[in-house]
């Protein structure tokens, strides 16, 4: 569940330094805005367009009509941003990602090759290399009682100090269609979630979440 356990290759995000300076992924969340704001002006104008204030888009990225991108935001090499996407700022999208139709991003990091392709909400979250969210799946980022989010791991409750914290997806995580990842959910690498699931707590690496009481290892 620590950074080193969740993300095998930090070269697959421009924010690699943030993960070397912290222990747990959620400790990066409050730093995203300032990091993107500082990184953007250092990017090469030969590689990145700068179409509006605090927005930098790689020249090879494919942007479809009818999208909205607020800063600070960086869109990486070869990424597709499809119609209806709503990028609210404090967003770092890696190389070769898909930000799909009617998908909303806010205060998040997408490592390289992440796919959020259809009707997804990703707020105050981090998605590792090759993570994929099925259509309609969302990262719920605020508790209904507005109290601080804790991470539930076995018999431990890890205090995060965060009011807004969606989910952390490790490398190669698969989330089924129309699933809800409740605030503070952590899916370790190669974990999978069945469609129509409601997930909270930690799903261990290489396990399949069928329901809260039925989490099994991959065969």
Cα-only R_g, the chain: 16
Q: For residue 143, count other CB atoms closer than 10 A to its CB.
A: 16
Mean of pLDDT values over 65-78: 98
Binned at pLDDT 50, 70 and 90, residue 184 comes out as very high
Does residue 102 carry a pLDDT above 90?
Answer: yes
What Cα–Cα distance (Å) separates residue 25 from each residue in 39, 146, 216?
A: 19, 21, 24
What's the pLDDT score for residue 133?
Answer: 98
Q: Which domains does the chain have, with CATH numbers?
A: 3-217 (2.160.10.10)
Q: DSSP class of residue 96?
A: T
What's the pLDDT score for residue 180?
Answer: 98
Q: For residue 105, count other CB atoms closer than 10 A to its CB.
A: 28
Binned at pLDDT 50, 70 and 90, residue 219 comes out as confident
Does residue 1 carry a pLDDT above 90?
Answer: no
- Main-chain phi, psi angles of 42, to 5 degrees: -90, -10
Say what the pTM is.
Answer: 0.96
Mean of pLDDT values over 196-206: 97
Average pLDDT, rounded, for the chain: 97
Q: Are 7 and 170 in contact (CB under 8 A)?
A: yes
Mean of pLDDT values over 156-175: 96
């Amino acid at each position: 569940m620590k950074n080193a356990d969740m993300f095998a290759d930090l070269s697959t995000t421009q924010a690699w330094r943030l993960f070397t300076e912290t222990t747990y992924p959620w400790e990066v969340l409050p730093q995203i805005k300032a990091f993107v704001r500082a990184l953007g002006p250092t990017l090469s104008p030969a590689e990145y367009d700068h179409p509006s204030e605090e927005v930098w888009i790689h020249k090879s990225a494919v942007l479809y009509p009818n999208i909205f991108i607020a800063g600070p935001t960086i869109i990486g090499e070869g990424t597709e941003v499809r119609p209806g996407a709503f990028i609210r700022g404090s967003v770092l999208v890696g190389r070769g990602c898909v930000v799909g139709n009617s998908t909303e991003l806010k205060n998040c990091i997408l490592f390289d090759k992440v796919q959020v392709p259809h009707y997804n909400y990703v707020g105050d979250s981090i998605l590792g290399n090759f993570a994929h969210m099925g259509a309609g799946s969302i990262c719920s980022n605020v508790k209904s009682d507005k109290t601080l989010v804790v991470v539930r791991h076995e018999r431990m409750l890890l205090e995060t100090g965060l009011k807004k914290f969606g989910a952390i997806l490790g490398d190669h995580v698969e989330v089924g269609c129309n699933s809800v990842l409740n605030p503070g959910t952590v899916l370790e690498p190669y974990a999978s979630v069945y469609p129509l699931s409601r997930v909270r707590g930690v799903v261990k690496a290489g396990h399949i979440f069928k329901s809260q009481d039925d989490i099994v290892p991959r065969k």
